[in-house]
Each structure stands twice: as C-alpha cells, then as structure tokens.
Structure 1
C-alpha cells in the first residue's frame, strides 16, 4: 500500500486502478457520530473512471488533482443522501456538481436526497440496485432501509459502503438501524456469496478484509441496539416486537450512554419528543420492572 500526502488530503493506492483519498469534512462538528476525516473512492474499470462519494479537496492538493488531469473521471456516484458532500474550497457547492462541471462526466445517486441538504444542480441518474453500471459496477440493495446503495466492484473484488458499516476502536461494525436483526444482518450475510476480498467504508479506518466483514456480522450494532432506536423514535409497535423477540432491556448504548428506556426518556424531553414516547416509556418501565 503506497501513501502520498499533500496539504489536508491523503491519497492511498490500494491496487492498480483502485485508490482512495481521505480529507477532513468541512461541515464536521463536535458531537456528531462520525469521524471528522472521511473517505472517497476512485476506481478505474475498463474505459471508465468512477468517483464514489467524493469530497473534492482544496486546490493545493496537487497529487490528487494531477491524477484527475492524467485521467479525468467519467462518472461520479453518491451512495446515500447524507453523502452529498460540499467541496472543500466552496462549501456552498456540492462535490458532485463540481466534478460534473469540471470534467463533463455523468452523475448517479439515490432516489431521494435529504431535503435539509438540497439536491444537486446537475442531472443525477437514479441508481437502481442490481442494474449494472458503466464499467461493470453493481449497486446493491440497501441493507438498512435508509436509501443507501453499496457498490460491488467485481473487477477489484471490492465492496464500497457509505454508512452501512463503520470502524470504531479498530473494529468494523454495522451501523445501527431499526431493523438490524431482521433486515440488515441477513442482507449483509447474503453478500458473502460474492467473491470480495476488500471492504471500503467512509468513516473510520477505511479498508478492511473479508474476515473483518464476517466478524462485523457477529458484533452488536454501533452505537446502540434496534430497541434503543425504536425507543428514541417512539415506535411502540416496534418496541413491543423487539422485546417479544428477546431484545435486551438493559443493553447500554456505546455513544450516548443509557438503556432503551433512558433513550425514550431523553427523546421525550427533546425536540424529537412525541406523545407516543409516553406509551413507550410506560411499556419499557413495566417490562424492565418484570425483568428485575
């Protein structure tokens, strides 16, 4: 693995025709549940050069810009709504727009974007899971139900994820979702049928092995259980369903401390508070008392 450095950006070669760059996100702030330094991917497949979830760097990142001069991108993709990233130089311009304007390439993205962030100015072709993209890239189904399309790159035996997986304390983890056990884990386990050797994630240490992926399926989700998330959302039906299936009422979250009941109480006092939280709190209090 060859590493190069230039101001504020790190470029790492993973294989011939596959490399990543890492850069501090200009909109990161203390308290966010993701690391300040994020990863973008460049992959060459046949005549195509793809950029995945790009965060375009400052003008003085000469190593990176020279690579694009030598071989301009032909396509750019945003893998999930939250990864509409601004450029470093102009934080009001989306990186996907900057890439298209500069290189005239095609843009691809999810079927929906975060309304608080806005959409790209350029035309974005919707990514359809299972449909082969130029160069042979294959977008996969969303494992967690949050409009993400992980990318399978057969030529490089590589999986690229947006937020489905993250690295914490040196360990690859599945990011939590309300349907972690019944949807996310089975969907990810099915990917073991693919002959991938490498996994790239956006947040934390970026490159992981197939073994690390398999181990992630055995770890609890980061940073909290599905029951925590359902309690926070005030989803009484999901809370009851998870408890009936044996969810741990006393499980403690790893980022914001507390049990699912604690999370429901915090949500009821926050902007997220809804009348349904009172029912969730009452239910979890009763079940927790029975469990003692």
Structure 2
C-alpha cells in the first residue's frame, strides 16, 4: 500500500478467481480516496485495516468488480449488472439459451442484503461524474477534487500497457470506445487510476485516446 498523494491510497492484491487461463494479470488494483468526511473504496480487494476502519462507502467501476464489497458491510454504489438482453447484445449469445437468466454479479446486493445504489453514466454522488466505457456498466469515474480518473476494464493494463480493452464484446469496436472516451482529454486529468495495472499519468492517457 502506498499513498500516491494526500488522501489517495493505492494497493494491489491477488484476485481470488485468477488462474493461468485468465487473460488479465493476477494482481489487481484498488484505491481508497478521501473526500470531505467520506473515505471511498474503489473496486476494493484485501483492504488494509487502517483504510477499512476509515471507509464509508464502496464504489464499483463495473458490477463484476464487486471483489470484497459484500464483506465490507458498507453502502455500495455501482452500475447495474448485465441482463440476459445485454448478453445477447454484447456477446452475441443465443436469445433462446439465455432468455430470462439473471447475472450472478451483485445478486446479494439486488436482493437487499446490503445498502445498494445503482447508477449509470452521468452524475454520481460525492461529486463524481461517470463516463461509459465499452458499455454503460463499465465506467470511468472523474474525481475533480484530485484531478484523477478511476477506470474499469474498458481502460486498463492487462499486461501490455494501458489501453482500451473490449473483453470479447461484439457490439462495439476499439474506435467506438476511443470516441466515447475522447471527452476525457478536455478534463484537467493528472493521474489515471486503473482497476488493472498501476497508476499512470496524463501523457499515457493521451497516447491511448
């Protein structure tokens, strides 16, 4: 764990679902960021005790990034999980095979086990703005109080440097995602905080977009 700047913490942990068949690296990143009286955990996994004691909420860049959110017992702010119609659109799934099925992502939260708040792109609590990446539930968060973005899978480093990641989606191209994210370059971003990979500077973001 290290403090990148006052009130901004980064740490990495081995993802429990990782194996050698995965296309993404074993270690994933999480962040703890202070804003006023709140301390927010982004895509948290293996939260250090000193940060867990301060935490007031969990924010997920994508529903499949729930990681340790369930065990933390905090309010969770997240984009919604995929529906079976999303699987048809995103992956070309056969509608007759998936019709009516529910995603396992965040099933516990949707069942009311913890306090859940579901949001798409646009204005979020805590003064955050969310931008859609390869889809409306894989987001990039703009945090203006620290001039940083926290990015989900759409903009991450899966071992070959920071880049657009499509993850097998068939409904969108790399150029589509670049066009969608290009407005980020109009923001005074100083640091990129990806869920996969390590923090990067604005120059690397410019090379991608």
Under a length normalisation based on structure 2, what TM-score does the superposition of the two structures give? 0.80
Which 4+ residue blocks in structure 1 deviate beyond 3 angstroms?
none
CA distance in 2, matches of 1:98, 1:130: 28
Task: Check if 1:195 corresponds to 2:188.
Answer: yes
Unaligned segments of structure 2, at least 5 residues: 83-101
CA displacement 1:200-242 (0-9 Å, x = unmatched): 11113x111111011113xxxxxxxxxxxxxxxxxxxxxxxxx
8 Å CA contact 2:61–2:79 kept in 1: the answer is yes
Cα distance change of structure 1 residues 143 and 66 upon mapping to structure 2, 3 Å threshold: closer
Q: Closer, same or farther in 2 for the Cα pair 1:146/1:28, shift >3 Å?
A: farther
**Residue 170 (structure 1) shift:** 5.6
Structure with bigger gyration radius: 1
Question: Aligned-pair RMSD on alpha carbons?
Answer: 2.0
5+ residue gaps, structure 1, are 1-10, 58-63, 86-94, 218-292
1:81 and 2:81 correspond: no
Secondary structure of residue in 1 paired with 2:139: coil
- Does the CA contact (< 8 Å) of 1:127 and 1:149 recur in 2? no
Higher relative contact order (CA closer than 8 Å, sequence separation 6+): 2
1:110 maps to which of 71, 79, 83:
79
Cα gap change, 1:27 to 1:181, in 2 (>3 Å): closer
Equivalent residue in structure 2 for 1:97, among 70, 74, 82: 70
Bigger proportion of residues as helix:
1
The Cα shift of 1:188 comes to 1.4
With the length of structure 1 as denominator, give the TM-score of the two structures: 0.58
- Which of the pair is proportionally richer in strand? 2
